[in-house]
Amino acid sequence: MVTKYLLAVSVLAGLAQAQPTYSGEVSRIMQEKCQMCHRPNDIAPFPLSSFEDAQTWAADIKRVVSEGIMPPWKPVEGHGDFQDAYNLTAEQRRAIIDWVDAGAPMGDPAELPEPKVTDSEWRLGEPDLVAQMAESYSPPRGRDVYRCFVVSNPFDETMYVSAVDVLPGNRKIVHHVIMFIDEKGQSPELDAKEEGPGYTCFGGPGFDISINSMLGGWAPGSFPRHYQDGLAIQIPKGARLVMQVHYFPTVTAEDVTRVGLYLAQTDVKKLVRFIPVLNDRFRIPPGAENQVVTASFPIPPGLGAKIIQVFPHMHLLGRQIKVEFTPLGRETIPLIYIDNWDFNWQGFYNYKEQVSLPALSNIRISCTFDNSENNPRNPNNPLKEVRWGEGTQDEMCLAFLGVTFDNEDLLRTIGILNKNKGVKSR
């Protein structure tokens, strides 16, 4: 009898020890996978910074974790190996569910990890420079508005940026933001031609652009990340910074969007530039449930590169997007695949290791759209044909690849630094 009693006590003690607690397992999972969004004044509807937060929302946490809704990590495993991936492992998902089922116990407070959530509104901490609109802007309601705002460049020398963060002033009306570098200083003249803050800039920022012109951007669900040491984007001396903001206001509201720049802290060995791969000539018929659109971009001879990051982009009809490349005479290499596209969760994905992109490789993008009444996100009623466009009710099939080129001298020789050509669409 005594032996059976001791055995039962031992089993119960083992079960108790294995039972997940907040202080033991759950707090660490939430630090790693949840708190980048679930923090004050960010995209998530409530913070998960403390035990009290997690306990309050425990039932909801179990539901969205069980259904795979949260965390909203979109890339399919095996199609790119990315930094800071916040998808849950099977063990982490099970630990959260078991914790909620057990009554969401605190555990031993002494086991709690050091808090990682900071008081800064900037996810990477305070920037070296904050660029913002000179005054607030209130876009007209009920239609897409693209507005460019010229931001003064305070640097009197060439500077190098390792990360860019964007804080939309009003998330209810800001659709996305792209930061451009105006190397020739053409933007102030464009700004002077229109009254009020900024100038209209559908179709691009309005000045000459090249693969040097993109500084960074923001779309719902995106997260800022530092480049690896030795990599940065160059802001030439005297260049202007231009903030292109896409608004789609359903309410009358004002916006003052800010951009935080983080300067490189180590010697810069390679410059990051952006290759766009896109198709801007497609048509999606009304009712089409599985319309596939493709585009390709061939890497010229002698211009091998390393891929640092990828930014895939579609609008509301998008369902799947895949980016891959095929080196000459070799098998295709996947870069990213999202099989359940959601406009509200997108962004720049940085690779853990730089991906070698040999010269003569062919980069390919494939986008799948659903323009039927079965798509709950379809903004068009009645259904209509949809083409490439910058409006919310238009569509895009686009991916930016952040790369460093192996031969910068050849870039200058053939003039690629001054032009942005070569994208093929079909």
User: In sequence order, what DSSP letters do the residues of 6-36 get, joined into one string?
Assistant: HHHHHHHHHHHHHS--IIIIIHHHHHHHTTT
So what's the pLDDT on residue 20?
Answer: 95
Least confident residue range of 162-171, 307-316, 406-415? 406-415
Average pLDDT over residues 291-310: 96
Question: What is the C-alpha separation between 395 and 231, in angstroms, rounded?
Answer: 32
Average pLDDT over residues 293-319: 95
SS3 category, 144: coil
Global pTM value: 0.85
Rounded to the nearest integer, the mean pLDDT of the chain is 89
For the chain, helix, strand, coil in percent to 5 are 15, 30, 50
Residues in the chain: 426
Average pLDDT over residues 220-226: 85
Question: What is the C-alpha separation between 254 and 128, in angstroms, rounded?
Answer: 26
Question: What is the C-alpha separation between 112 and 180, in angstroms, rounded?
Answer: 43
Decide if pLDDT at 118 tops 80.
no
Average pLDDT over residues 188-209: 92
So what's the pLDDT on residue 37?
Answer: 84
Average pLDDT over residues 311-334: 96
SS3 category, 60: helix
The 10s digit of each residue's pLDDT in 251-281 is 899 999 999 999 999 999 999 999 999 999 9
- 37 DSSP 8-state letter: T
The Cβ-side half-sphere exposure at 37, using a 13 Å CA radius, reads 16
Decide if pLDDT at 415 tops 60.
no
So what's the pLDDT on residue 17?
Answer: 52
So what's the pLDDT on residue 12?
Answer: 43
Average pLDDT over residues 198-218: 91
What's the pLDDT band for 425 if we cut at 50, 70, 90?
very low
So what's the pLDDT on residue 412?
Answer: 64
Question: What is the C-alpha separation between 391 and 242, in angstroms, rounded?
Answer: 20
Question: What is the C-alpha separation between 144 and 393, in angstroms, rounded?
Answer: 9
What's the pLDDT band for 146 if we cut at 50, 70, 90?
very high
The 10s digit of each residue's pLDDT in 354-369 is 999 999 999 999 999 9
Query: How far from each other are the two terminal CA atoms of the chain, in whole angstroms?
Result: 79
The 10s digit of each residue's pLDDT in 29-53 is 999 989 888 888 777 889 999 999 9
What's the pLDDT band for 414 if we cut at 50, 70, 90?
low
- Cβ 335 vs Cβ 325: under 8 Å: yes
Contacts of 301 (CB under 8 A, 6+ apart): 359, 360
Which of 4-13, 243-252, 374-383 is modeled with the greatest confidence?
374-383
So what's the pLDDT on residue 121?
Answer: 87
Helices 58-66 & 90-101 angle (0-180, nearest 10): 140
Decide if pLDDT at 177 tops 50.
yes
Task: List, in sequence order, every residue forming a beta bridge with 231; answer none if it has no partner.
Answer: 270
So what's the pLDDT on residue 421?
Answer: 32
Question: What is the C-alpha separation between 71 and 64, in angstroms, rounded?
Answer: 8
- Cβ 319 vs Cβ 341: under 8 Å: yes
Question: What is the C-alpha separation between 336 and 314, in angstroms, rounded?
Answer: 14
